[in-house]
């Protein structure tokens, strides 16, 4: 009798999970095992993440309205390096915290668009978009967001801070 009760509960739970997830959605979180030393880097990605799964077409104007002060707390106190393999042959562009803050408040410009696109990609609940890989680097970590982005975090004041954001996908003409 007890075995049938347990089997029934398991069937109910499995059925509940299967029917509560939309078709094509993974049943388990993609990034469920984050090493404790990298939780702050993960928290940054979760912070910028869209509240709902974004549509296929990227529109920077659809990005969440982030708390700019809180977003800035995840970034380096010095200059942030942004690269895009599709822009100026991937040339590094540096932005001061003031430049980034202005871009985020105005919701336009290179820093805002970079964060909006990263958030758009990371918010898609499929491994080919949002699977995270952590590679230790000195006193920090490099976080790969699938094959799309490479984020470099360094320790500043004991906390991981984003110092570099590289967009890695070559777009076709």
* 71-93 pLDDT tens trace: 999 999 999 999 999 887 779 99
Q: What is the mean pLDDT of residues 127-151?
A: 96
> Residue 115: is its pLDDT beyond 50?
yes
Task: Encode pLDDT of 10-26 as tens digits.
Answer: 333 333 332 233 333 43
Residue 27: pLDDT above 50? no
* pLDDT score for 21: 31
Assess whether pLDDT exceeds 70 at residue 161.
Answer: yes
**pTM of the entire structure?**
0.81
Q: For 35, left (φ over 0), alpha (ψ -120 to 50), or beta?
A: beta
Sheet holding 149-156, edge to edge: 93-95, 80-84, 159-167, 149-156, 140-145, 132-137
pLDDT at 83: 96
Distance between CA atoms of residues 153 and 43, nearest Å: 12
Residue-level pLDDT at 29: 56
Please give the domain boundaries of the chain with CATH numbers for all domains. 36-167 (3.10.450)
Of 56, 53, 40, nearest to 140 by C-alpha is: 40
């Amino acid at each position: 009798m007890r075995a049938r009760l347990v089997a029934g509960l398991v069937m109910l739970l499995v059925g509940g999970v299967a029917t509560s997830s939309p078709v094509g959605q993974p049943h388990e979180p993609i990034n469920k095992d984050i090493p404790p030393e990298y939780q702050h880097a993960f928290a940054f990605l979760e912070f910028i993440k869209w509240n709902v799964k974004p549509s296929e077409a990227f529109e920077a104007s659809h990005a969440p309205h982030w708390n700019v002060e809180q977003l800035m707390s995840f970034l380096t106190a010095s200059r942030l390096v942004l690269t895009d393999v599709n822009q100026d042959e991937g040339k590094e562009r540096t932005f001061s915290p003031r430049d980034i803050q202005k871009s985020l408040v105005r919701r336009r410009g290179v820093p805002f668009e970079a964060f909006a696109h990263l958030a758009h990609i990371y918010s898609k609940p499929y491994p080919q978009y949002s699977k995270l890989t952590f590679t230790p680097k000195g006193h920090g970590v490099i976080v790969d967001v699938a094959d799309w982005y490479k984020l470099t975090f360094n320790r500043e004041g004991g906390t991981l801070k984003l110092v570099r954001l590289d967009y890695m996908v070559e777009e076709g003409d």
